[in-house]
Amino acid sequence: MTSSMSSKAVPWTFISAFYNPQICRVILHIDIEKCNYTNVIVEPHPESSESSRAGSRYLENRLVELHAEKPETECATFERDQIIEQILTLCRNEYGRSAPSFGSVIYALTVDGVFQVRAMPDHRLVQALRNPAETFGDDLPLPPLVPRTELQPVAGTGQFLLSQTRLVRYNGKLYIAKGPLYPQRALLDLSEVKNLLALPARHPNVIGPPTALITLGETDDRVCGFLTTYHCNGNVEFYARKLREQGKLSPKLLFKWALQLVDAVAFLARHSTFHGDLKPDNIVVTDKEDIVLIDFTRLFTTFVTASPEVRKLCAGSGGTKLGIPAHWPMESVLSSEVYSIGRTLYLLCEGFKMAEVYQEMGWTKDAPFPTEFAPDSPTPPELQKIISLCVSQEPSQRPSLDALSKMLRAAQKRYTVKWRFSRSTSPRHQQSKSEGKVGPGTFYMIRSKLLY
């Protein structure tokens, strides 16, 4: 269900709610300042029996009831929204602009007769966690263990931090802490650790292996997450938007990122593996403006960037398939990845806000979202042509990774030459040349010969 309440110009905005009837739980998805996300869990009060919840004085019981019965009346919608707004107000007052510490979620509950919010580990998730050997086996050397209590939370923006990720400080350094979110797939989410450790080599545009495994406590070695490299420029979507607003998002940088993305996917292919969920929010930017591919769980494919063949397979499975099948031949996998590269570049170059895309399209909604360029498109024309080839409906019509890399390098070279020529023939340069003086245009040509 999507929020019917208007967004407010304050942190903590309700995005959507999910009701799980099997465990009688409501999860509220909350946005903190348009880039940091957290969940609020609402469950029936432990002192109330199932038969006594209807009309209960406990607000948590009433909110669960409203989601369970799904009444569509105006009165019920108003009551639901009022309770959610009360929860948001409690969160704003309790946490300000910060999310809970890593490994904790927020519970909205009544204690001693007072409805309040408290941050604590998800008790159902904790029950699903296991120690390192049970989680990862013993066939790979594992990184050291760090209790989650030693991680200091750090408020950060521009990272597009989902509910299972947090910016933290450990031993004086900043890291991203990442862990599972849902109890039923906790061990599957942690499989990303093994996927990264299994890579026999490293690549500058692929996130490195985890720095440490995070445990529940000093005496509880159940793994609840891992530490990975923090990149100060954050998510490529946020960073590109910031540059665009400053007039600094150059075609040169877009070409560079496109080539680095292709190089990263080609590196994975050389080692007989793949990413499987290419999209702008799975890419971060280093302090040198290079991109790094993150999130190697390989359990889920986002439909707005997934190829038609993957979407068709997942949509027709009734929810049993959510990503690229492991049994697919690498040729089919790579053709699908090329499509996702094209869609990722399209979303990035066109400046789509992924949070708004997900709110409208969802993650697995197979709805029309064509790759179209307006006459005043901000995407460089050379990139438009390449993107259009990548997103061909027929896999056989898409370029290979090697051909894609060559096309990008050739287009990048043509653009550079064209840009230099347009600058050298500008009226300002022609004027300084005709006057026989060493003006700004002449200095630019001398500098360009040295730098290019």
DSSP 369-428: ------TT-SS-HHHHHHHHHHT-SSGGGSPPHHHHHHHHHHHHHHHHHHHHHHHHTSHH
- Structural domains of the chain, ranges and CATH numbers in brackets: 12-121 (no CATH), 126-229 (3.30.200.20), 234-421 (1.10.510.10)
Q: Rounded to an integer, what distance in angstroms lies between the CA atom of residue 130 and that of residue 223? A: 6
Write the CB contacts of 186 (distance below 8 Å, at least 6 apart in sequence). Answer: 125, 128, 129, 180
Range list of β-strands (E), 210-268 = 212-215, 223-229
End-to-end, the C-alpha distance of the chain in Å comes to 54
Residue 368: which pLDDT band, with cuts at 50, 70 and 90?
confident
Helix or strand holding residue 125 (H, E): helix 123-128
8 Å CB contact between 275 and 337: yes
8 Å CB contact between 395 and 336: yes
pLDDT tens digits, residue range 86-114? 999 999 999 888 888 899 999 999 999 99
Residue 435: which pLDDT band, with cuts at 50, 70 and 90?
very low
The total of other beta-carbon atoms located within 10 Å of residue 350's CB is: 16
pLDDT tens digits, residue range 45-78? 988 665 554 546 799 999 999 999 877 788 999 9
Computed on alpha carbons and rounded to an integer, the radius of gyration of the chain in Å comes to: 25
Helix axis angle for 330-350 and 236-245, nearest 10°, is: 30
What pLDDT, on a 0 to 100 scale, did the predictor assign at position 428? Answer: 40
Token pair in block for residue 262: 């292709």
pLDDT tens digits, residue range 208-242? 999 999 999 999 999 999 999 999 898 899 899 99
What pLDDT, on a 0 to 100 scale, did the predictor assign at position 252? Answer: 93
pLDDT tens digits, residue range 380-405? 999 999 999 999 999 999 999 999 99
φ, ψ (nearest 5 deg) of residue 35: -150, -15
Token pair in block for residue 73: 């009346």
What pLDDT, on a 0 to 100 scale, did the predictor assign at position 410? Answer: 93
Tokens 């007072």 identify what position?
Answer: 114
Q: What is the DSSP letter of 51?
A: G
Q: From residue 124, how far is each of 101, 134, 171 by CA, in Å?
A: 18, 18, 30
Would you say residue 132 has pLDDT above 50?
A: yes
Would you say residue 451 has pLDDT above 70?
A: no
pLDDT tens digits, residue range 182-213? 898 899 899 999 999 999 999 999 999 999 99
What percentage of residues in the chain have a pLDDT greater than 70? Answer: 85
pLDDT tens digits, residue range 281-313? 999 999 999 999 999 988 888 889 999 999 988
pLDDT tens digits, residue range 144-193? 999 999 999 887 555 567 778 899 999 999 999 999 988 988 998 999 99
